[in-house]
Amino acid sequence: MSSRSMMTMGTPTLAQHRWVAFSGAALATTAGAMLLSSSSPWLGHVAWLSATGCVAWAAHCLGRQRGETQQTHDRYQDALRALQATDATAPAGAHLLQAAFQHSQAPMVITDALDRIVMVNQAFARLCGMSTDALLGQSAELHGLAPLRPSHLPGVDQHLRDGTRWAGESAITAHDGAVHEMWLAVSALRDAQGRITHHNRVFQDIAPLKKQLRQMADQARHDSLTELPNRRAFSEHLFHAMARARREPKTLAVMAVDLDGFKAVNDTHGHHVGDLLLQQVARRLQACVRTTDIVCRLGGDEFMVILEGAGMPHEVERIGQRILTCLSEAYTLERHHVKATPSIGLVVHQPHENEAALMQRADAAMYSAKRAGKCRMVLDLGDTPAPVEGRTTARVA
């Protein structure tokens, strides 16, 4: 670890204010000679990183003014002798701990009581995209770390006062502006009088874990066979679509689609061909609707379509007719020619109608299409109290 010139801290009365940190007695001698030979007045602090990996601040503030060279030199030598004694008696385990700190893959930062950086490991320097020299002595907040305040880390002040560790999510903003999602653990170090002297931050990269959780959440809302939104996602989409329909005077329609003869396809050609048929149906449905419409598979051969802002009822019927025609065409699945027509129930949402009532009407319309001979669509505009009568039907021959 080389001698390091740190950032200016405040505005001293003398011409220059320097911070220097170094490790080991030999480097300390070199750094001290550099400071003492300076021709300009300065006010600074010197920190040693001892063999134990701890930060030991000099007992006296090193100052050089006219006539103070010998006094400053004596103070420096006293501190240096203390450092040499510490390094000479440090057990082998201390060196091991320091090596573990530096080579740990978990980014680590030690700051003083004012949250200025006094020690970082290589992993943190790489994460920030900066050298260790550029980080030491500077404010942790200025280098993308969340300040140790409850406004940024809820409850951290209480944990530090109680002597317990705080842990939670906290992002790090690197030098290039990249934001890294991290799990942060913060603890306080105290002196013999119980006063906080340093803060220790240990980070863990949770971006891969959060990515996996997002993928799992996405999988939980999608059908693995057709990659369409599943029943859970359909309910969420319908809830939000109905909320928008209540705020805006736009037509909202829901279509229930069930395949005729799907069980016969499975029994005749096998479940693999049945799966291929469901995938083809999903693609045809998506090709028939707008990008703003939602196509879902609830399970088995049952599909639902949410049509928002489809316009007048005759326009809704035209969309349903297009889907009826498209799905009624034969399928070629691994050299098998399969015919599977749809039965469709299409309903238009009514004011003050809840989700359960709307779904019940859609299912009733779809089953009416099946009872009427299948391969047809039943449109329920909700303008008649009769459960079946008053609905229009369309059929593809």
Active site (catalytic) residues: 301
Query: Treating both helix axes as pointing N-terminal to C-terminal, what angle do 25-36 and 69-89 enclose, rounded to 10 degrees?
Result: 170
User: 87-101 b/e with 16+ CB inside 10 Å = b?
Assistant: beebeeebeebbeeb
Continuous H helices in the chain = 25-36, 69-89, 92-103, 122-128, 132-135, 156-162, 207-220, 231-247, 262-269, 271-288, 313-328, 355-371
Q: How far apart are CA 36 and CA 388, in angstroms?
A: 99
Query: Treating both helix axes as pointing N-terminal to C-terminal, what angle do 271-288 and 313-328 enclose, rounded to 10 degrees?
Result: 150
Indicate the length of the chain as a whole number: 397
- φ/ψ of 199, rounded to 5, equals -120, 140
Query: Treating both helix axes as pointing N-terminal to C-terminal, what angle do 231-247 and 355-371 enclose, rounded to 10 degrees?
Result: 110
